[in-house]
Amino acid sequence: MDTLDLNRNWTEDEENQPIGRRIQRLSLHLTPVPRQLGNLQLRTLTCAARTKLNVDAKSLSVFMRGKHRDIQEKVFDFFNARPELQTPVEISMDDHRELCMRQLLALVRDAGVRPFKYVADEPTKYFAILEAVGSVDMSLGIKMGVQYSLWGGSVLNLGTKKHKVKYYDGIDNMEYPGCFAMTELHHGSNVQGLQTVATFDPITDEFVIDTPNDGAIKWWIGNAAVHGKFATVFAKLMLPTHNTKGVSDMGVHAFIVPIRDLKTHQTLPGIEIHDCGHKVGLNGVDNGALRFRSVRIPRDNLLNRFGDVSRDGKYTSSLPTINKRFAATLGELVGGRVGLAYSSVSVLKIAATIAIRYSLLRQQFGPPKQPEVSILDYQSQQHKLMPMLASTYAFHFATLHLVEKYSEMKKSHDEQLVGDVHALSAGLKAYVTSYTAKSLSICREACGGHGYAAVNRFGSLRNDHDIFQTFEGDNTVLLQQVAADLLKQYKEKFQGGTLAVTWNYLRESMNTYLSQPNPVTARWDSEDHLRDPKFQLDAFRYRTSRLLHSVAVRLNKHTKTLGNFGAWNRCLNHLLTLAESHIESVILARFIESVKSCPDASSRAALKLVCDLYALDRIWKDIGTYRNVDYVAPNKAKAIHKLAEYLSFQVRNIAGELIDAFDLPDHVTRAPIAMQSDAYSQYTQYVGF
């Protein structure tokens, strides 16, 4: 039998044959050979001969971490010095819940970290604390978010001065642990369909809170099962009338309802609380179910920023319709989505750090009679992890931008900015959390059998993060909101209206993006052209504009026969693809701007490399779309693929510095296989050797 010469030069005809192409790809794992890309010589080098960018991880980290690193270090140092507050690998649900409460109390009372004051006044600092706390234990991060962002945030954002005076200190110092009771058994995403009612009784000057049926039981309410003493309850406000109906539905409003006695902690009369039990993840959070049986609360417990009821039962509001009041109410709660998008990137950083550091340390196989090589030197491992690392950087800058815009919105209350943050937070939360969820499984697989050990964290990270795709808005529903906003902006474009900031490129360049591709530029395949940010961003935006135009045409066509709802459902997958494409355009635009603004030259060069990989990898993954409309000619498609592979290899060369720039100490990653020194010793000690 003839032997296979792995070092041979392959002809173009042989490369295009399936068997030849497969053999050549396999050979590259074992004996890399030179390949050509235009004038660029691509070489897969051995570890000893590898050339790489000179990256100062500390300078890059300073640029990445921003101005609130000090408070994060304070959180990390506090928990590192308190081993009794560190979450063990094996812990029961009940013990985890109690530990989580002790952790939060210790953070606030012993460490002196008071997150609540930053929720409204300095959101960027609040989210920095949330990121650090979530790195300690994701359950702790969620419990903190329920207490301060949801329960506390509802009082701050939906209430008025009297509510802040009465509840602020108790929420801040944890004397008033509370819940956010919106979701019901039969209604999660459709908040306007909630069935819990709050009927005003003018005789006693009270609201009567009722759960009319089992479907209206408040479900999955964090802090409710064990620790909560109050709940912000979302219910339909019903006012008595003198007509035949007897009551008038004023829409969903928020009410403060005490659920347990402040001294005895006993459940109050009319309140039923049940435990939702063991979950897939986040078992340090005590989720419960709440039923209300004619529970009476003072009229002042209505959070009345957007609508109020007088002593004689008259309703007043600065907003004229139920829909406008509902939109204003939910608009004030957008901080939860901002926090989840930001926290999801933090989870992705931890997982990528563990997987990449393990892949740098782990050696397996190699050339005959030579040392084994790092598994990150294999092209297949680079293909799994390097685009993911690039995406992590891209998401970091995009969500940091979102947090800054949210902070600006809270200060200015500018209507256009409110709408922009609402759409951007919906899209980034949906896109980033979905990507992170998929990546956690890839990281686990990339670490082989050792990735399956609970101590190495992928299982807990994956299980705890999984629900990020659902709460604060189901991802599929949120992407539909983005698509609906895009269609609204598309309509505005052709009616001469103004566009929100996030959609500016539609106003500036829609005609360009909808024109036929230039047959000359479609064939340009030089490295300089493909790494030009203008080409990359134009390609992303061209795809989005084509999708937007085509789905608008389809909706118009199907609406005539199916109606609005039927047409939307017929085009739903198209709409979701449109929303994802738009968010990718926003992410890339922000990444490009961040590269330009980096003051350190070596860090800027590293970020440019990572940004190019992110852009070209995404273009290659959707190359069919570009080929179908001749935006990219065959020679250019091939060049994009080869350059993306080369950039992935180049990013591998500086992968250690890139993950070090995340500045996650060993006690944060907490995975023995990813310890920066003596990893295997740490691992063997853990299992008892």
Burial of 562 (0-12, 13-18, 19+ CB in 10 A): middle
Active site residues: 472
Under 8 Å between Cβ of 492 and 498: yes
Buried b (16+ CB within 10 A) or exposed e, 419-456: bbbbbbbbbbbbbbbbbbbebbebbbebbeebbebebb
Residue 642 CA to residue 296 CA, distance in Å, equals 68
Which of these, 217, 198, 389, lies nearest to 296 by C-alpha position? 198
196: number of Cβ within 10 Å: 25
Task: Give Cα 607 distance to the centre of its chain.
Answer: 21
Under 8 Å between Cβ of 272 and 265: no
Residue 646 CA to residue 96 CA, distance in Å, equals 46
Residue 26 CA to residue 228 CA, distance in Å, equals 58
Residue 33 CA to residue 80 CA, distance in Å, equals 47
Buried b (16+ CB within 10 A) or exposed e, 647-657: bbbbbbbbbbb
Residue 472 CA to residue 337 CA, distance in Å, equals 6
Task: Give Cα 53 distance to the centre of its chain.
Answer: 30
Tokens 């509840």 found at: 167
365: number of Cβ within 10 Å: 11
Under 8 Å between Cβ of 641 and 35: no
287: number of Cβ within 10 Å: 22
